[in-house]
Amino acid sequence: MPVVNYEQYCQILDAAQQGDYAYPAINVTSTETANAALKGFADSNSDGIIQLSLGGGQFASGTCIKDSTIGSITIAEHIRRMAEHYDIFIAIHTDHCQPGKVDSFLKPLIEETAKRRAAGLPNLFNSHMFDGSELPLKENLAISVELLKLCADNEIILEIETGVVGGEEDGVDNSAVSNEKLYTTPEDMVDVVKALNGIGKFMLAATFGNVHGVYKPGNVKLSPNILKDGQEAVKKEFGDDYILDLVFHGGSGSDIQDIHETLNYGVIKMNVDTDTQYAFSKGIVDHVFKNYDGMLRIDGEVGNKKVYDPRSYMKAAEISMAKRISQACDDLKSTGKSIFKK
């Protein structure tokens, strides 16, 4: 059963924490991108996390339905069935859910898992993200406490965010956010633990200059030391054995040295979306450029069905995206470290 149960999910996160590596968390929008994620992880013998955003779920439901919840459930069911044929562990996660979408997206998905559990079936989703970073920290944590209780009742891990990831992703534009909000403080991290400790397992997306989107190398100015300072403040408050499971958002364009430094400070999950979107599209564009005359019916010709058959270019896209995921596994040092045993 390669889609993890709660105990297995905790085990792979703990293994990453203890081994100073992290898992790529790959955003998907379709069965094709989900297949690419599974292939990329399997090719690297890495456990991994596959996730859906509100926009990704909406896209997956089609242009008529446009329902984030239904689309996310559909892709999660596909991932679960396909993952059974791989020898790696996979966790299924949902990405950024802002406060205004909790009742229409996050809670219905938790309820879907609760229904499955009541019927004796495994969880559909293993973890969810609540992004309350637009709220004052006190309000953010109040909602986080409520959601963590619901998650804990259903053996789901909750990810929350403090501070704001800059840039634009999935229709949410934080490019004009003031600079100080791009950095989580040690006091914020201590307050998170005070509020959530003992309720259930959680991850924290702490911000240290992260920016969503794509930038040339060197244009994103990260301060990973913020994570180190926060972990030290948490240890001082709760004991030397306490360490937060941290999540790195907005990593596109980051220097590999900065990425590696964050692994020393408790980052066990890094979201990868922009670069895999590009890789998927590049596979299609390469196919089109190489087969232009066959893709279109030009000058009265009939084209070439073998090259305009969507399967031909979607296969190329899957392979291209899977290669980029394997690179992410290398970058995050998870390659070859799957703990799955047949």
- Percent helix, strand, coil in the chain (nearest 5)? 50, 15, 35
How many beta carbons lie within 10 A of that of residue 114, not counting itself? 16
Let me know if 95 is a catalytic residue: yes
Q: Who's near 295: CB < 8 A, 6+ residues apart?
A: 288, 303, 304, 307, 308
How far apart are alpha carbons 100 and 8 in whole angstroms? Answer: 32
Which residue in the list 14, 43, 47, 95 is annotated as catalytic? 95
- Alpha-carbon distance values, 268 to 191, 192, 229, 281 (Å): 20, 17, 17, 28
Backbone angles phi, psi at 118, to 5 degrees: -65, -25
How many beta carbons lie within 10 A of that of residue 103, not counting itself? 9
How far apart are alpha carbons 323 and 330 in whole angstroms? Answer: 11
Strand 172-173 relative to strand 166-169, pairing:
antiparallel
Q: Which residues are catalytic?
A: 95
